[in-house]
Structure 1
Amino acid sequence: MTIQRMDHVGVVVDDLTAAIAFFTELGMELEGEAPVEGRWVDRVVGLDNVRVDIAMMRTPDGHGRLELTKFHTPTAVSAGPENAPANTLGIRRIMFAVDDIEDVLARLRTHGAELVGELERYEDSYRLCYVRGPEGLIIALAEQLG
């Protein structure tokens, strides 16, 4: 048996409103928001008295989804420094294909995003960069050339 698909990626955030605004500016669409709590959630995530708000974001093509989660209880914990470098163990980035990388960068900067390194060209194929967004999350942007 194999997997059917990758359904979504989950990201824990402290400021859900700011994270929604950031990913909306990137071009994702808000599918919905909901509070989630109850014994079933406690059992699934292995924590007690879980109370969270979630927002499900969808890519314009409808194939990619991102679940943003704000923990009210128990309080979220940090696994490392907020601005951890790109070589930190664990999930470090989510990559998005974009049409106009400089336009996307300019719009994301209005939400506090910063380049991690530089905008670079990879051969004749792509222009790409890493961008640090909300909660120190790194996203990668890639613009296909020609």
Structure 2
Amino acid sequence: MTTRIDNMGIVVDDLDAVIGFFTELGLDLVGRTTIEGDWSGRVTGLPGQRVEIAMLQTPDGHGRLELSRFIEPAVVADHRRAPVNALGYLRVMFAVDDLDDTLDRLRAHGTELVSDEVVRYEDVYRLCYVRGPEGILVGLAEELGSSSQA
């Protein structure tokens, strides 16, 4: 039986820029290293791989995001600008405490709203999708309290 999601992985080209984006979002960088060797290629099916990774963690310590920059072998496909209805990985959604402030801070990292607006879902959430560095699709959700005026 599964006990938890350990992490979600995203392959990137500019590791520093993407780390900056996710740390601005509030994740903590918990480690960064290069992975290589026979064992790693056996796990992924990519013999001879050499990958620089960074592990980030949500402030509550329950969610982790692994960013990978492949040095060897070269990246073979690019799905970063796929529309939100594309098959495969779509996005990761983060709960934020202040959506407007979060968007203001992320704009310095090249973040763009996918739509032209932040949408309210009933009296429950304010939601939006953004594209961060390298076109990475991220969902942001602010839970609304009974006194919220969004």
Give the match for residue 126 of structure 1: 125
Give the match for residue 92 of structure 1: 90
Shift, 1:136, TM fit: 1.7
Distance in 2 (alpha carbons) for counterparts of 1:39 and 1:105: 42
- Contact 1:92–1:137 (Cα < 8 Å) also in 2: no
Distance in 1 (alpha carbons) for counterparts of 2:74 and 2:103: 32
Q: Scaled by the length of structure 2, what TM-score is found? A: 0.93
For structure 1, which segment, 56-65 or 69-78, has the greater mean C-alpha deviation from structure 2 after superposition? 69-78
Q: Scaled by the length of structure 1, what TM-score is found? A: 0.95
3-state SS, counterpart of residue 87 of structure 1: coil
The CA deviation string for residues 80-136 of structure 1, in whole angstroms up to 9 with x for no partner, is 4x3211111111110000010011011111001100012110001110000011222
Distance in 2 (alpha carbons) for counterparts of 1:71 and 1:46: 14
RMSD of the alignment, in Å?
A: 0.9
The CA deviation string for residues 39-69 of structure 1, in whole angstroms up to 9 with x for no partner, is 1111111012100110000000000000000
Structure 2: runs of 5+ lacking an equivalent? 146-150
Distance in 1 (alpha carbons) for counterparts of 2:133 and 2:47: 26
Distance in 2 (alpha carbons) for counterparts of 1:113 and 1:92: 17
3-state SS, counterpart of residue 75 of structure 1: coil
The aligned runs of 1:1-146 (5 Å cut-off) are 2-80=1-79, 82-117=80-115, 118-146=117-145
Shift, 1:79, TM fit: 4.1
Give the match for residue 148 of structure 2: none
Distance in 2 (alpha carbons) for counterparts of 1:36 and 1:9: 17
Distance in 2 (alpha carbons) for counterparts of 1:128 and 1:137: 17
Structure 1 moving runs of 4+ over 4 Å: none
Distance in 1 (alpha carbons) for counterparts of 2:77 and 2:47: 18
- Contact 1:13–1:134 (Cα < 8 Å) also in 2: no
- Contact 1:7–1:65 (Cα < 8 Å) also in 2: yes
Structure 1: runs of 5+ lacking an equivalent? none
Distance in 2 (alpha carbons) for counterparts of 1:36 and 1:91: 23
- Aligned residue pairs total 144
